[in-house]
Homo-oligomer: A and B are copies of this chain.
Amino acid sequence: MSTSIATTSYEPLTEETAIAYIEKLNQKLGLFPAPSLLLCKEIGDGNLNYVFHLSDSLSGQSLIIKQALPYAKVVGESWPLTLRRAKIEAEALQKAAETVPSLVPNVIHTDDDLAITIMEDLSDYTILRKGLIDGETYPNLGRHIGIYLAKTIFHSSPFGESQQEIKEISVRFTNPELCKITEDLVFTDPFFDHDTNDFEDHLKDTVNELWKNEELKLEAAKLKYTFLTKSEALIHGDLHTGSVFVTAEETKVIDPEFAFYGPAGFDLGLFIANILLNTISKTAIDEQQHSDLYQTITETVEVFKEEYKKLCQNHHVEAFIQTEGYVDYMLATIFEDAVGFAGCELIRRIIGLAHVADIDNISDCQKRLCAQKNALELGSTFILKRRNFRTIHQLIQETKDVLK
């Protein structure tokens, strides 16, 4: 379902025009039972997208209208940003729904010209980052993300999909503008004295040391190259804890506007790093919280491996799959890449443009400084020693050592 309107017809919706838009669509698609009484509220942060919550007071039904804006305030003042990302996001959600329907919001309708996606209302869910900052725990989270990663990666990789189909998909998900943001903000700028960087004065010496660390920069350069050239699977591309909706039981991965054919370890790395940024933000006395977070990461990685192996056994399209050691080699490589990417993410969230509330919201300056330094140290260690960590347990042990 895709409405086609001339490209020039793009204009940002308001709460009023959003209602009019849905009323018109309702006649065609029967989104709400007649008669309806529609109410609309803009609930997005307005930085990148409008998000309208639309509900029918009569039936009690509701949905979300997400509309991309043609710029990205968060990246820099008036940085223009392609509206095509709305199409990529909607198609990535639809692609994920083919393999993990319960782990993504349901897309109801798309409109390329208005850069609109109409989807399932997840108002009952909380953004994972907020939940973690509030000290909530999510016992199913690790398992869900592990399954999400295994299925989305396997089924879009040469192990689970034919090369021809992959080339076709990868053309559809060619995403240069958003990849450029990651290239710059995650892999380049934080390792150089670049004007997009944003870090606190008390970190100046530490950051200067990092910029002079040639060994670290060489390994970061290799990871950047991997990001730019390893086209293994259709990945989410921005799987931090702000891209996950949760309830006590459920998990929904949202916002895949950075989706593209990239390294299979990238999503896992970002997810691990963002859980660890929350871990780092908690003082060491929050022992139960630390332990819960480690448990989440452990389950993510172990469920991912287990599920991936099962898929390789039962659904592969690769003649070499039975070759002794091949699947284990692939999992080890994905994990190694993931650890490296996690390292880059830890560093860029402290030095780079886009920070995380987990750390920034620590009001005690000394504690904040300590958390920032821990993140930088852990990030550097992950990047430098990524080949040495063979299991998630070793990674967690290293984290514990740094946080001591």
Contacts and interface: CB of A to CB of B under 8 A. Distances in A.
A21 interface: no
A42 interface: no
A229 interface: yes
A180 B164 contact: yes
A177 B162 CA distance: 11
B230 A230 contact: yes
Interface in A146-195: 158, 163-164, 166-168, 170-171, 174-177, 179-180, 183, 188, 191-192
A326 B163 contact: no
Contacts of A228: 158, 163, 166
Q: What's the dominant secondary structure at chain A's contact region?
A: helix
A166 B174 CA distance: 11
A367 interface: no
A240 B80 CA distance: 45
A323 B163 contact: no
Contact of A329 (B167, B222, B229, B320): B222
A221 interface: yes
A252 interface: no
A218 B174 contact: no
Contacts of A176: 163-164, 167-168
A150 to B, nearest CB: 18
A102 interface: no
A229 to B, nearest CB: 5
Interface in A189-245: 191-192, 214, 217-218, 220-222, 224-225, 228-232
Which of A180, A192, A320 neighbours the largest number of chain B CB atoms within 10 Å of its CB? Answer: A320
Interface string A229-270: 111100000000000000000000000000000000000000
Given A188-B319, A225-B158, A229-B158, A218 B164 contact: no
A214 B167 contact: no
Interface residues of A, number: 40
B164 A217 contact: no
B214 A324 contact: yes
A221 B326 contact: yes
A217 B323 contact: yes
A35 interface: no
A24 to B, nearest CB: 35
28 contacts: A158-B225, A158-B228, A163-B176, A163-B179, A163-B183, A163-B228, A164-B176, A164-B180, A166-B228, A167-B179, A168-B176, A171-B171, A188-B319, A191-B319, A191-B320, A192-B319, A217-B320, A218-B320, A218-B325, A218-B326, A218-B329, A221-B323, A221-B326, A225-B330, A229-B230, A229-B231, A230-B230, A230-B231
Given A163-B183, A166-B228, 17 more contacts: A158-B229, A163-B176, A163-B180, A164-B180, A167-B179, A168-B176, A188-B320, A214-B324, A217-B320, A218-B323, A218-B324, A220-B320, A221-B326, A229-B231, A229-B232, A230-B230, A231-B231
